[in-house]
Structures are given as C-alpha cells and as structure tokens.
Amino acid sequence: MGMQKSEMFRALTTFLGVIIGAGIFAIPYVVAKSGVVIGMVYLIFLGLIITLISLYLGEIVLRTKERHQLSGLAEKYLGEKGKWVMYAAVFFSLYGALFAYVQGAGIVLVSLLGLKQELGAYLFFMVFAFVLALRFQIFEKFEEIFTSLKVIAVIGISIVALFFMHPKNLTQIHWSAFFLPYGIILFALTGVSAIPEMVTEVRKKVIIYGMALTVIIYALFMIATIGVLGENAGEVTTVALGEKLGNGMLVLLEVFTLLALATAFVGLGFALKENYMLDFKMQKNKAWVLVIGIPLLLLVTGVKGFAKVLEWNGVIGIGVMFLLILVMHVRAKKVGKRIPEFTMPDWKWLKILIAFVICAAVVYELIV
C-alpha cells in the first residue's frame, strides 16, 4: 500500500526540518565568491549524489529489523570498528552543526534584539537545550508547524527579493574559488540523520521529493539573495538581505532565520540523543547531557567561525559518513534480515565514483 497523504507530509516535514537549517544562510556567502553558475552546478551534482546516498541508507534501515541510529547500523553491518568510525563522523558533524546553529542564532539576535553575540548564543542555546529535554511527541508538533512555516517563508522572501535583484550579479564566475562552495552545499543538502528517525516512514518517494524540493528552494534563495547582494552576502545572508530591503523585511528575515535554526537544532539534537539511547543504551537524561555538553563547552571556550565550521562538517564529517553508508549498503543487501519496501541497484562503478569525489574533497580540504 502507498503512503497516505498525512504520512507523506509528516515524513517530508521530518526530512526537510533536518535538511533546511543553518546551511541555507551560508550558501549565498560562498557561492557569491565563486559565482551563481558554479553554485548551481554544485547544487544539482551534490543533490543527485546525496539523493542516492539517502536512498542507500533508506534501504539499509528497511533491511534492518531492529531500530538503530547510524552508529548502531554501522556496528551491525561493519562491526565494532565501523561503529566507532561512524560515531566519530557523527560526533564531528552533528556537534559541529549544533554549535554552528547556536553561533548563527547569536549573529541574528545581535540585529534583532540588540544583544551581544555571545549573550544571544547563550539565550538560544538554553531555550532549545530545554526543548531537547522534552518528550519526542512535543518535538514532532513543534517541527511540523515550524518546518512548514520555514519553507513558506524562504519561498516568499526569495520571491520578494527577486524584484530587487541586479541581473549582473548572477553572471560573474570566479574560477579561482571553484571548490569553495563544495563543503557548505554538501552540509546544507544533507539530512541522512533524519532517515533512521523516520523508521516506517522511510520511502523512496519521500527521499526523492524531499531532496528535489530542497534543491529548488536553495536555488531560488541563492539566486534571489546574490541577485540583490552580489558579493556582499554575509555569513548569515538573511541579515544582510534584510538590511538591504528595509526594516520590515529585516525583522521577517530574522524571525525566519531563528525558526530555521531552531528546527534544525532540535532535529539534529534529537538524532544525536537517539543515537546515544538506541546504540549506546544510555538513559535519556545522560544522553541529553552529552548532547548539550559539547556545544556548551565550545561556547564557554569562545570558539568562533560560522561558515568555516559548516565547511569542515560537510567535507570531513559528512564525507566519512557517506563513505561508510556506501559500504554498509553492500553488506545490508547480503545479510539484512528484513524485506525492504524498496531496493536500490548495487552499481559498484557508481559507488567508486562517489567515493572518489568524497575522498578527493577531504584531501583538498586538509591540504589547502
């Protein structure tokens, strides 16, 4: 039987809630330095790769009888070493993302409320650390409402911005910065941590529609914001865009940005909490302390660098996760105990090509 519309909507909401977060605000910042044409190439190319990897992970989840997060799936199909390599990648990526979201919120609250950036970051962190301590049902209601508003808001903002854009801002290409958008766009398009969360909601259509919708929304936002701002896009682009379009739009953009950061923070936070509870058999309170502890430590020590944190997350943390998922898919096809609702072909040449792109990017990021 096919998925009912309400199930499809809930699954898409979960998926989009995790994907559309801080990354969307950094995309124009890096793409403005390379050019919109290069940015579009990355959006389409990486969108296809991430869709494939998300489908591979969906099949892995559906071939597994027990509920697991990424670390548990890696242990089941790759052994103890695989579990710890996956945990390290998840640790690096999700904690970095959580911290980047807090930093992004701090930047927004400087403009919105006139707070110091550090105070704004602490305020955002405390509110949503508390949300992470609540029951999962409350989060689902929170996520469904705000993810829908977030998608509507970014489309509306982009359409308004199109009327203020300068076409010449879209024609520039800077080949010297060709590789710059890779890490942040990879990060911004990735929502694999949501797939084990969806469990029975995992279906091929949800992943394909979710990724296609994300690429379209990002492309629209990227074109509109760079069209208005050119190379003056800031690290959190919505603040700079709002300042350009007037006070009314500034407040709307700041509120939208906080909603996007909040849903992404809570979505990733729950994925990490579930990882500890399911795969490391921890009590929920201890798991919660571990989830919020690292971002709090980074806040206290004064670490900064919103865009750079996202870039490293994308290239290294998510890159390693993707490599492990490619190998897990091969193993799950052989030893999985459950008949999946959909299957993906095991094209080795395609997996080798994807692995080569990921490894080359990691090497480039470490060397340059």
Cβ-based burial of 80 (10 A; exposed 0-12, middle 13-18, buried ≥19): exposed
Cα separation, 55 vs 205, in Å, equals 10
Cα separation, 262 vs 98, in Å, equals 10
Residue 330: CB atoms within 10 A of its CB come to 14
- CATH code, domain with 287: 1.20.1740.10
Nearest to 329 by CA among 48, 49, 57: 57
How many separate domains does the chain show?
A: 1
Residue 243: CB atoms within 10 A of its CB come to 16
Cα separation, 157 vs 138, in Å, equals 28
* Rounded-to-5 percentages of helix, strand, coil across the chain: 85, 0, 15
Q: Please give the pLDDT value at position 137.
A: 56
Q: Please give the pLDDT value at position 211.
A: 92
Q: Please give the pLDDT value at position 320.
A: 92
Instruction: List the pLDDT tens digit at each of the 368 positions of the chain.
Output: 455 667 777 777 777 767 876 788 889 989 999 999 999 999 999 999 999 999 999 899 889 888 788 888 999 999 999 989 998 998 888 888 888 889 888 888 888 888 888 889 999 999 988 888 875 555 556 666 777 777 888 888 888 888 888 889 898 899 988 998 998 999 889 888 778 777 666 678 888 988 999 999 999 999 999 999 888 877 778 888 887 877 777 887 888 788 778 877 887 788 788 778 877 788 888 999 999 998 898 888 877 767 777 888 888 889 999 999 999 999 999 988 888 888 898 899 999 999 999 999 988 887 87
Q: Please give the pLDDT value at position 247.
A: 75
Phi, psi of 92 (to 5 degrees): -65, -45
Q: Please give the pLDDT value at position 138.
A: 59
Q: Please give the pLDDT value at position 1.
A: 47
CA dihedral 99, 102, 108, 112 (to 10 degrees): -170
Full residue range of the structural domain in which residue 244 is found: 5-367
Q: Please give the pLDDT value at position 122.
A: 92
pTM (two decimals): 0.85
Query: What are the distances in angstroms from CA 307 to CA 188, 207, 299?
Result: 11, 26, 16
Q: Please give the pLDDT value at position 316.
A: 87
Q: Please give the pLDDT value at position 193.
A: 73
- The answer to whether 117 and 107 have CB atoms below 8 angstroms apart is yes
